[in-house]
Structure 1
Amino acid sequence: MSERQVARATLVVGLLALTVLVVVLVPRDVVPGGPVTPAPVATVLSADEVERAETFSRWARTWSWSSLALSIVVACWFGLTARGRRLVERVPGPWWVQVPLAVAALVLLGRLVTLPCAVALQRLRLDSGLSRQAWTGFATDQLTTQGVAIVSTSVAVLVVVGSARRWPRAWPAVSGSLLAALVVLGSFAYPLLVEPALNDFEPLPDGPLRTQVLRLADEEGVHVDDVLVADASRRTTTLNAYVSGLGSTRRVVVYDNLLDSASRAETLSVVAHELAHARHRDVLTGTLLGAAGALAATGLLGLVLAAARRRGAPGPGEPGIVPLGLALVAVGSFLVLPLDNAVSRQLETRADVDAVRATGDPAPFVSLQRRLAVRSLADPTPPALSQLWFASHPGVLVRVAIADRVRAVPG
C-alpha cells in the first residue's frame, strides 16, 4: 500500500471506531421524560446577579476568544508560510533534538502573543473576586502549563516524525496507533504526573463527611481509590470537584473552598455527581474517544501532508514539518470543539440525573448549582454559538430544570 492508501485506511478505521464508540458509550435521552426547558432565569438568579454575570462573561469571552483567535493565527502564520520552516532550520542538532526545540519555540511564541489576553482575563478575575492568586503564582502556573504542553506535544510530534522516518509508507497507521496508546497511557498517568504539578492534594480527613462519601460510593457500586482535597483556593474562589484517572489511579477530588463554603448536603450532591462519572466510567469513555480521534486525526494528517508535499512542503519525517503539523492541529482542534462538547454535555447531564437520584433530594443540588453560578459569575443565558462551541456542561438553568424533572418523574 502507498502512503496515501495507508493514511486513508487509518482515517476510515479511526472514524469507524469513533462512530461505534459514540453509539455504544455516549448516552441519549438521559433525562426522564425527554429534553427539558431551561428554568426561568428570574426563579434562579436575581436581576443584579444576572447583570454581574453577563458583564463579567461578556469581557471574559472577549479575552478568551481573542486569545484563541490569536493562537490559531500565529500557528497558521508559522505553519502555512516559509517562516516556520526557516525557524526550524535555525535549530541545531539531530532531528530528535530539533523537533522538541522547534515545538518549544512555537509553543512559547504562541503563548507570548496571547499573554496580554491571559493577563487581561486574570485581571478581570481578580477585579471580579473570582481569583485571589498573586501574580507570582499566576506566572508559575503559566510556566507549568506551558511546560506540560511542550512535553506532551513534543512526544506526539516525535512519534509522528520518528515513525515516518522508520516506516515511510506505513507511518500513518503506526504513529496513529502509538498516539492512541499514548492517550490511554496519559489518562492513567495524568493524576500521578500532571495534577501534582498544578495543585497540592491531601486525603479528605476522617470524619462524618468522609464516612458519608465512602458510604455513598459503596451504595453506588463505585470503587474509589481515594477522596482527595485540592488546594484550589490559592488560585480561585469557584467551587468544584472532579474525578480523574483510570484503574488504580482513579480518585475523586474536591476543592478545599467547596468544603469551606458548601453545606454537607451540597457537598454530597457534588460527590454524587462525580461518583456517577466513575460508575459510568466516563473517564474511560473520554479516553477511548480520544484514542479513536487520535487515530482518525493521524490518518487525516497523512492525507493533508501528502498533498502539501506535492506543493513543496517538507516530508513527515523531516523536522521542518513541525510548524505545519501544529497549525493543522490548532485548526482541527477548534473545528471539532462542538462535537467534543456535545459529548461532554451528555455525560454531564447523565451525572446530574444520577446525582439527584442518589441523594434523594434535589434541593441541595439546586441550591449548589445556584451557588456555583453566582460564585463563578456564569452567564445564565449565553449566546447560542458560545454554548454550542465552548460549553462542556449544561447551563445552570438547564441543570435546575433537570433536578425539577427528576423530582417530578422519579426513576
Structure 2
Amino acid sequence: MTTTEPRTVLDYGKPDPRDLTYKYELRRAVAAGIIETAAGTFLLLIAVRHFQAGATLKAFIAMGNAGGLIATPLVVYLISLLGTRANIAAAWLTFVAGLMFTIAAAIPNQYVFAFASLLGLVSVASAVPLFTQIYQDNYPEHERGKLFSKVMFVRIFSAATFAYLAGWALDGHLQYYQLLMAVFALAFFYSAHCLRRVPSSPLATEESRNPLAALRFVRDDKTFRMALIAWMLVGLANLIMLPLRIEYLGNEKYGVLLHGEPLSAEFIAILTGVIPNVARLLMSPLWGRLFDKVNFFALRICINIGFAVAIVTFFTGNSLVGLIAGAIIFGISNAGGDVAWSLWVTKVAPPHRVAHYMSVHTFLTGLRGIAAPFIAFYMLNTLTLLQMGLLTSALIVLACLVLIPEIKIYAHRKAPPEVKELPDD
C-alpha cells in the first residue's frame, strides 16, 4: 500500500508510510548533506592539496557522480530482475559507498583514495532513481513537493554547516584527511540504516533481456520525450557555465574588480557558494509547494527563465550589483531545480514505472555531466564569456519554447500512455 491510496480499517494501527518515510528522510538528510560536500568540495581539495594528484586521478574523482548516473538504467534493470524492494537496494548501494570510503580512510595512498572515492560516488549516485520511486510510493501526490523540499532544506543546511566546520578544521591540516573520510563513511552507513527503515515495494519487473529497455519510454511517451529534450538543453547550458563562474571571477584578464583590486578567494567563495546557497535554502520550501499546485511544465519554464536571467546578469553585468543579483537569481532557480529534477517523473510516469523513467533521465544527466566541462573550455577558446553567456541563455529559451505546447497537453493528460514491452531477444 502507498499513501496515495486511501487507508482501510485494516491499516489503522500500522505506521503510516508517509510519516515513516518523512521521519527517516529528515534524519538521512543530515547525513546526505555531509556526503554532498565530499563530491562538491573535499575530495578534489584533498587530491589537489594533499596528494598533488595528476589530471587523470582528479578526473576520475570528478566523474564519479556522472558515472553513477550513467549506470542507472542497468542498476534499475538488475534490481527489477532481482525483485528487491527499492529501499533495500538503495540501502545496499549506499552501504557499498560507505565501504569504499572506509577503504580510502584506512589506506593512505593517492591511487586507493582516487579509485575508492570514484567507486563510492558511482555506487551512491546509481541509487537516485530508487529514491524517486520511494517518494512516489509513500508521499501523497498533493504534498510530495512540500515534503521533499522540507527534507531538502535540512540537507542544504547540513551541507553548508559541515562544509564550513570541516573546512575550518582542515585548514592547514590536510594530513588528517583520513578522519574526514571516516566521517563520510559513517554518514553513508547511517544513510543506509535510515533507508532500510523506509517502506517501499519491489520495482516493476522488466520482461525484456535488454538492460537498456527503459529507453523505450522515450519513444513511446511523447510528453516524456519533449521534457527530456528541454532538460538536455537547460542542463547543458547550466553545466557549461557553472565551472566558468570561477574562471570569470578569478582570472584577472576578465577585469572583474572590487575597489580596483582583483576579487579575493573569500569573496569569490561568497559569490559562487554562500549567496546562491542562502537563496536556495530560503526558497526551497516555496518551490516544493508550487510543485504540488502548479502545472509542472509552466513551473519548469519559470525555473528555466530564472536560470537564463541569472546567466545574463552574472556574466554581462560587470558590476558588483550584477554579480550579486546573478548569484541570488541562480540560487532561487537552483532551489526550484532541486525539486523539479528529483520529482518531475512522478508527474508523467506510470506509478510502477517511476524508477525506470527516472533512470532514463539520470542516464542523460550523467552524459551531459561528463560532456559539458569539455564543451565549456573548448568554447572558451573560440568565444568570449559574453558570447557564451548569450548562447547558453538562448539554449534555455529554446528549452522553454519546446515546453510551451506541453503545458496544455499536460493539463489534459489523464494518464501516461501504455508503453510497449521489448521482445526478450
Range into which the TM-score falls when normalised by the shorter chain: 0.3 to 0.5
Select the structure with the greater relative contact order (CA < 8 A; seq sep ≥ 6): 1
Q: Which one has the largest radius of gyration?
A: 1
TM-score (norm 1): 0.33
Instruction: Name the structure where helix makes up a greater proportion of residues.
Output: 2
